[in-house]
Amino acid sequence: MKVVYDAMATTWIKPIHKAKGRTVAATLADRIGYANNPDKSNGYEYVKSYGCDYYTAANEFALSKEIYGQQTGRKGRKGDILAYHVRQSFAPGEITPEMALEVGCVLMEKFTRNRHQYVVAVHTDKNHIHCHCIFNAVNMDCSGKFRNPMRSMRIVRRISDLLCAERGLSIVENPKPSRGSYRDWQDRKEPQSNRDKLQDLIDGNISTGMAFEQFIAAMSAAGCGVKRGKYLSFKLPGAERFIRVKSLGDGYTEDALRERCTGKRATQKRNDAGADAERKTAEHAASRNRPKLLIDIEEKLRQGYGAGFEHYATIQNLKEAAKTLVFLKENGIGTYGELVKKASETSGGYSRMNERRKEIDSRLSAISELQKHVGQYGKTRGLWAAYKRSGWDSAFFEANRAPLMLHKSAKKYFDEHGFKDKLPSINSLKQEYAVLLSEKKSLGNIKAAREEMIDWTRAKHNVDSILGVRPESQKSRDREAR
């Protein structure tokens, strides 16, 4: 065994949390996708997985978490850990990618005891070979999660060092100390963001019965910068940037704030733990009553799931089948034809709404861009005429470079978009923008339409599975095979 004392990275383990603004599946896809990157792993040659397929590992991890949440009721908690990321680094030139992949797989086998799905990928794009191992926090039968001990970093390093020593590889005997244990890191509270601070400041300065302008004056007196225009924005005392109130959530848009002033909308403090807990409980109960997809048990068994999972999945499918039938009865569906019609209607309605919203958003974006160029063109047209009268004098151009370049940019935009004759007026563009914005609002709640479509699609899928009805795409493939 060779011992090295340089600053080379050694084995470490880190938890993977849901990224802010991202779904569970998207977060896992980002992290596992980085590990599986074919440009780094020689076209997936040095990638292996256990209990899952590395192509679909992110979705399978997310499915396991969903099943775990349904079984235990522990869903969407703040700070929830989705998976763990272990990385091994090896000294340059002393290990092959094949051996590194073997070491990574044995490390995962010993550390997780093969109770968790995992993906192991070796990267060869650096001057030193290193291995990324990502394992699911939820165990194979979805009944529990990985219990991360306080000394997990030391444990995983000890196993890794033993495996390297058995193969005559270098290890880092005295790695640099970390910034603290995972338990210490977990106990540290995250600092409050500027958006949280602004929400608290708004809640403290708004009250029912006050005029909206009084609220604005109160925010200004509290030291906030105020920007009025297309969007209402505030800048916290000492902050560098303004924050649009519409980015703070449904209860903080300008319309919502006006309603809170007049009393049309109830003002609820963000720190009202009881009301917040009651809301979350209601949402959780509602989500549990919605049908979920039946589990394809045969497919999961082919992927390596054990007898424990088969037993759980069978019970779970019976529960979901009963829940689906209750859902159909509550919604007045008595025949299969009615179910097909309802699923088709909700799917078509959501698709049409979504497509129209995309068309409107695209046009609104185009109008905003056109308004910008029309405005720039109008403001710089006189200066461009003076530049022309100067005989295109270079000194004149340099002295007025910025506005003249804006004028040229506007003309180029008009030429590229076919505005060769008469430009539209700013007023006509504003009117069109307002009409489209009104139509977008009148389309309805896209999120609610999507949830309704998902519910009925799941219900039909479950009924098809119970009745043994194959989808048309499968029938077509069967006909082609014959």
Instruction: Render pLDDT for 321-338 as a digit per residue (tens, 0 to 9).
Output: 888 888 888 889 889 999
Q: Both tokens of residue 361?
A: 């958003």
Question: Of the given ranges (92-106, 173-187, 349-363), which has the lowest mean pLDDT?
Answer: 173-187
In whole angstroms, give the CA distance from residue 338 to residue 325.
Answer: 13
Helices (DSSP H) in 390-423: which residue ranges? 394-399, 401-416
Question: Of the given ranges (185-199, 207-221, 411-425), which has the lowest mean pLDDT?
Answer: 185-199
Q: Are 404 and 383 in contact (CB under 8 A)?
A: yes
Q: Both tokens of residue 412?
A: 């180029």
Question: Of the given ranges (34-43, 258-267, 415-424), which has the lowest mean pLDDT?
Answer: 258-267
Q: What does the pLDDT average to over 347-360?
A: 92
Please say if the pLDDT value at position 134 is more than 90: yes
Count Cα atoms within 13 angstroms, Cβ side, for 112.
Answer: 30
Q: What is the pLDDT of residue 66?
A: 83
Q: Are 2 and 168 in contact (CB under 8 A)?
A: yes
Query: 370-384 in b/e burial notation, b at 16+ Cβ within 10 A?
Result: beebbebbeebeeeb
Query: What totals of helices (H) and strands (E) does the chain contain, helices first?
Result: 17, 10
Q: What is the pLDDT of residue 3?
A: 37
Q: What is the pLDDT of residue 234?
A: 93
Q: How confident is the model at residue 185 (pLDDT cuts 50, 70, 90)?
A: very low
Q: Which residue type does 84 have? A: Y
Q: What is the pLDDT of residue 6?
A: 35
Q: Are 313 and 300 in contact (CB under 8 A)?
A: yes
- Higher-pLDDT residue of 150, 106: 106
Measured CA angle at 198 (ends 194, 202), to 5 deg: 175
Q: What is the pLDDT of residue 4?
A: 37
Sign of the Cα torsion 470, 472, 478, 482 reads positive
Q: How confident is the model at residue 47 (pLDDT cuts 50, 70, 90)?
A: very high
Q: What is the pLDDT of residue 387?
A: 92
Within 10 A of 119 (CB to CB), how many other CB atoms are there? 29
In whole angstroms, give the CA distance from residue 108 to residue 29.
Answer: 20
Average pLDDT over the chain reads 81
Q: What is the pLDDT of residue 386?
A: 93
In whole angstroms, give the CA distance from residue 200 to residue 310.
Answer: 49
Coil/strand/helix, residue 41 = coil
Q: What is the pLDDT of residue 86?
A: 92
Q: Are 51 and 26 in contact (CB under 8 A)?
A: no
Q: What is the pLDDT of residue 474?
A: 46
In whole angstroms, give the CA distance from residue 169 to residue 10.
Answer: 12
- Higher-pLDDT residue of 83, 180: 83
Count Cα atoms within 13 angstroms, Cβ side, for 446.
Answer: 11
Distance of CA 36 to the CA centre of its chain: 19
In whole angstroms, give the CA distance from residue 47 to residue 35.
Answer: 9
Please say if the pLDDT value at position 406 is more than 70: yes
Please say if the pLDDT value at position 282 is more than 60: no
In whole angstroms, give the CA distance from residue 279 to residue 286.
Answer: 11
Q: How confident is the model at residue 283 (pLDDT cuts 50, 70, 90)?
A: low
In whole angstroms, give the CA distance from residue 226 to residue 198.
Answer: 12
Domains of the chain in start order, with CATH, are 3-187 (3.30.930.30), 194-262 (no CATH), 331-482 (no CATH)
Placement of tokens 């180029």 in the chain: 412
In whole angstroms, give the CA distance from residue 342 to residue 340.
Answer: 6
Q: Is 70 exposed, middle or buried (0-12, 13-18, 19+ CB in 10 A)?
A: middle
Q: What is the pLDDT of residue 186?
A: 44
What DSSP string runs through 48-86? EEESS-TTTHHHHHHHHHHHHHHHH---S-TT-EEEEEE
Q: What is the pLDDT of residue 477?
A: 43
Q: What is the pLDDT of residue 172?
A: 62
Q: Is 348 exposed, middle or buried (0-12, 13-18, 19+ CB in 10 A)?
A: exposed
Q: How confident is the model at residue 352 (pLDDT cuts 50, 70, 90)?
A: very high
In whole angstroms, give the CA distance from residue 215 to residue 34.
Answer: 47
Q: Are 13 and 156 in contact (CB under 8 A)?
A: yes
The model's pLDDT over 62-102, given as tens digits with 9 standing for 90+, comes to 888 888 888 777 766 667 889 999 998 888 778 888 999 99
Placement of tokens 């499915």 in the chain: 63
Specify the DSSP element, H or E, that contains 434.
helix 426-442
Q: Both tokens of residue 133?
A: 């191992």
Residue 271 DSSP label: T
Q: 206: which residues sit within 8 A by CB, 6+ positions away?
A: 215, 218, 257, 260, 261, 267
